[in-house]
Amino acid sequence: MALFTLKELIVYLSSLVLLFIGFFGMKYYGLPYSLLVFPANSTTLLITIIMFSFGLLFFGYGSPIVSFFAGIFYGWIYKVTGIPSSFVIFGMLSAVIILIATVKMGLSLFEDLTEKGNFRESLKVSFISIASALIICIVTDYLVVTL
């Protein structure tokens, strides 16, 4: 059994492309300041939870839009807050991993509702992805605060 179907692969790759477009667009062309202030100790976990929640909102099809805004936010973190790039890369790694869970769960839930597939088949990959992304988020947020 393949990890992704063709539909899941298209949604996942478009989400990745928009994540990096948002990141590099904000990093190179964004304003060097912001009116919004976020605490540095919970940004990665907050972004990951928002990406998962809003990505599932439209059965996984909303994940490209959410990942674009997450990329903008990670670009803002890199440019404005002065957090080292290694922490931003680990934060984006958790975003990439949570996209796997979002796309798998959302599209398989849609297929289960239309009686074309089974939702339980995607749960193992999704829960492993969620757990690993949350572990990376917690470690990254802890290291940002302590270092």
Residue 132 within any structural domain of the chain: yes
What's the pTM value of the predicted model, to 2 decimals? 0.85
Token pair in block for residue 98? 């949570």
> 83 lies in a domain?
yes
Residue type, 122: S
Q: What is the pLDDT of residues 36-56, one digit of tens each?
A: 555 555 678 888 998 999 988
Taking the C-alpha atoms of residue 41 and residue 12, their distance in angstroms, rounded to an integer, is: 28
pLDDT digit string, tens, across residues 56-113? 888 889 999 999 999 988 888 888 777 777 888 888 899 999 998 999 898 888 888 8
Q: How many domains, the chain?
A: 1
* Residue 14 CB coordination number (10 Å): 17
Among 27, 15, 47, which residue's Cα sits nearest to residue 141? 47
| Among the listed residues 29, 40, 25, 22, the one whose alpha carbon sits nearest the alpha carbon of residue 77 | 40
Is the residue at 128 inside a domain?
Answer: yes
* Structural domain boundaries, residue 50: 13-146
Would you tell me the crossing angle of helices 43-57 and 63-76 to the nearest 10 degrees? 160
Given a cut of 90, whether residue 15 has pLDDT beyond it is: yes
Q: Say if 5 falls within a structural domain.
A: no
